[in-house]
Structure 1
């Protein structure tokens, strides 16, 4: 069964985020807290949304997503931040059901894109995504700023007179 996440699901979502981070060999990077997830998912201005996969009433997977926007199509899309199904529930169709539910959201809302990233070494996931018709975006490289580099770039904005309250 696939359903929208509720605030009571936050501890399970956080546990699965940590399981996913461990699988991706980056557990130390999974620093989100229950309070942060609760605010992001269920606060006054939600920044993200989640779907839950259940088996026999127990959470076995989740998909956490947010809206993006394409200037080329002039429409929103869905960016899937995390898709995770617990190992003991894999092969039961939960991952495909979560993706299908997100595809349904896209179609129903007129969103033209459904995108996500996958680690290059994650061959099982890459094979699964290809099996449902997803295409890799060859020629694109993800860039990210964090830590001191993010702060250094932000400092250049202040030097030039702009401030976050005016942007």
Structure 2
């Protein structure tokens, strides 16, 4: 059956949660339950720049993409940050990740954004195979300081 990508709905929470947990495990991260709850609610708050798409096959969620539309000091229009992208391992390689990226790109274009960007772990070579096909890799090094 084909994969359908659509905007997340409030009713998707229960099916989204295990995918979210698998994503966090992949990145060896943990997020407090209240942060997860706040994130989920922000997806549906029209005053927030956060949004979420889900990928569905045979009535089951198999992936998601979370994005943030934000202003930039480098452009008169907004940017779109693809913050989280996950496809369950058994469904990878079939175009789901590409379809999720395309959905975020379409939303970014509709919002007038002039850049879509994302990061991944340098060891995530399978994802980079796809990313190298759909975007250019800049020579930027990210630094991070936890506060």
* TM-score, normalized by the shorter chain, greater than 0.5: yes
The runs of 5 or more residues in structure 1 that have no matched partner are 151-167
The separation in 2 between residues aligned to 1:113 and 1:44, in whole angstroms, is 21
CA distance 1:14–1:144, shift in 2 (3 Å): farther
Higher-helix-fraction structure: 1
Mapping for residues 3-14 of structure 1, pairs under 5 Å: 3-14=6-17
1:64 matched to which residue of 2? Answer: 66
Q: Given that residues 69 and 108 in structure 2 are in contact (C-alpha distance below 8 angstroms), is that contact kept between their aligned partners in structure 1?
A: no
Q: Given that residues 15 and 60 in structure 2 are in contact (C-alpha distance below 8 angstroms), is that contact kept between their aligned partners in structure 1?
A: no
1:19 to 2:22 alignment:
yes
Q: Deviations over 1:46-95 (max 9, x none)?
A: 35110010111211100011112222221112111110001111122111
Q: Given that residues 7 and 54 in structure 2 are in contact (C-alpha distance below 8 angstroms), is that contact kept between their aligned partners in structure 1?
A: yes
Specify the SS of the correspondent of 1:45.
coil
How many angstroms does 1:25 deviate by? Answer: 2.6
Q: Given that residues 14 and 32 in structure 1 are in contact (C-alpha distance below 8 angstroms), is that contact kept between their aligned partners in structure 2?
A: no
Aligned length: 143
Specify the SS of the correspondent of 2:75.
coil
CA distance 1:35–1:99, shift in 2 (3 Å): same
TM-score, normalised to structure 1's length?
Answer: 0.77
Q: Given that residues 17 and 30 in structure 1 are in contact (C-alpha distance below 8 angstroms), is that contact kept between their aligned partners in structure 2?
A: no
The separation in 2 between residues aligned to 1:75 and 1:117, in whole angstroms, is 21
CA RMSD of aligned residues (A): 1.8
Specify the SS of the correspondent of 1:46.
coil
The runs of 5 or more residues in structure 2 that have no matched partner are none
Mapping for residues 8-157 of structure 1, pairs under 5 Å: 8-26=11-29, 29-33=30-34, 35-43=37-45, 45-132=47-134, 134-145=135-146, 150=147
TM-score, normalised to structure 2's length?
Answer: 0.86
The separation in 1 between residues aligned to 2:145 and 2:80, in whole angstroms, is 19
Q: Which runs of 4+ in 1 moved over 6 A?
A: none
CA distance 1:83–1:139, shift in 2 (3 Å): closer
Which has more radius of gyration?
1
